Amino acid sequence: MSADKPGRPKALIEVRGLVKHFPLKGKKADDGRAAVVRAVDGIDFTVYERETLGVVGESGCGKSTAARLLMRLLDPTAGEIIFDGMAVGSRDLPLKEYRRQVQMVFQDSYSSLNPRMTIEDSIAFGPRVHGVAARESVERARDLLSRVGLEPRRFAERYPHELSGGQRQRVNIARALALQPRVVILDESTSALDKSVEAQVLNLLLDLKEAFGLTYVFIGHDLHVVRYVSDRVMVMYLGQVAELGPGEALFGQPLHPYTAALTASMPTMDPDNRTEEAPLAGDPPNPINPPAGCRFHTRCAAAEPACAKQVPKLGSKVTPHAVACLMYEPGSGHSRAPAVQEAA
Partner 1 sequence: MNVAVDATKIPAPIFERSPGYWSSVFRRFRRDPVALFAAAVVGVLVLMALFGPWLTPADPYKSSMLARLKPIGTEGYPLGTDELGRDMLSRLMIGARLSLFMGITPVICAFIIGSSLGILAGYAGGAINTVIMRTIDVFYAFPSVLLAIALSGALGAGITNALLSLTIVFVPPIARVAESVTTQVRSRDFVEAARASGADAFTIVRVHVLGNVLGPIFVYSTSLIAVSMILASGLSFLGLGVKPPEPEWGLMLNTLRTAIYTQPWVAALPGAMIFITSISFNTLSDGLRSAMDVKQ
Q: Does 268 bind partner 1 (CB under 8 A)?
A: no
Residue whose CB is less far from partner 1, 175 or 232: 175
Alpha-carbon separation of residue 54 from 34, 37, 162, 228, 328 (angstroms):
34, 24, 32, 10, 23
By CB under 8 A, the residues from 313 to 332 that bind partner 1 are: none
What sign results for the dihedral spanned by CA atoms 11, 22, 77, 29? negative
Say how far apart CA 244 and CA 314 lie, in whole Å: 9
Q: What is the dihedral of CA 118, 123, 124, 129, to 10 degrees?
A: 120
Choice between 114 and 289, CB closer to partner 1: 114
Q: Is 78 in the site for partner 1 (CB under 8 A)?
A: no
**Residues in contact with partner 1, shown as a per-residue x/- string from 137 to 176 under the rule CB under 8 A:** ----------------xx--xxx-xx---------x--x-
What is the closest distance, in whole angstroms, from the C-beta atom of residue 82 to partner 1 in the complex? 19
Listed ranges 36-44, 118-126, 203-211, 324-332: which one lies at the site for partner 1 (CB under 8 A): 118-126
**What's the Rg (C-alpha) of the chain?**
22
By CB atoms closer than 10 A (0-12, 13-18, 19+), residue 185 is: buried
Q: Are 241 and 209 in contact (CB under 8 A)?
A: no
Q: Would you say 251 and 257 are in contact if contact means Cβ atoms under 8 Å apart?
A: no
Query: Smaller CB distance to partner 1: residue 162 or 210?
Result: 162
Q: Please tell me the count of residues contacting partner 1 according to CB under 8 A.
A: 35
Residue of the chain from 54, 57, 62, 126 that contacts partner 1 (CB under 8 A): 126
Residues forming contacts to partner 1 in the complex (CB under 8 A) are 71, 73, 95-97, 99-100, 103-104, 106, 108, 110-118, 122, 125-126, 129-130, 153-154, 157-159, 161-162, 172, 175, 179
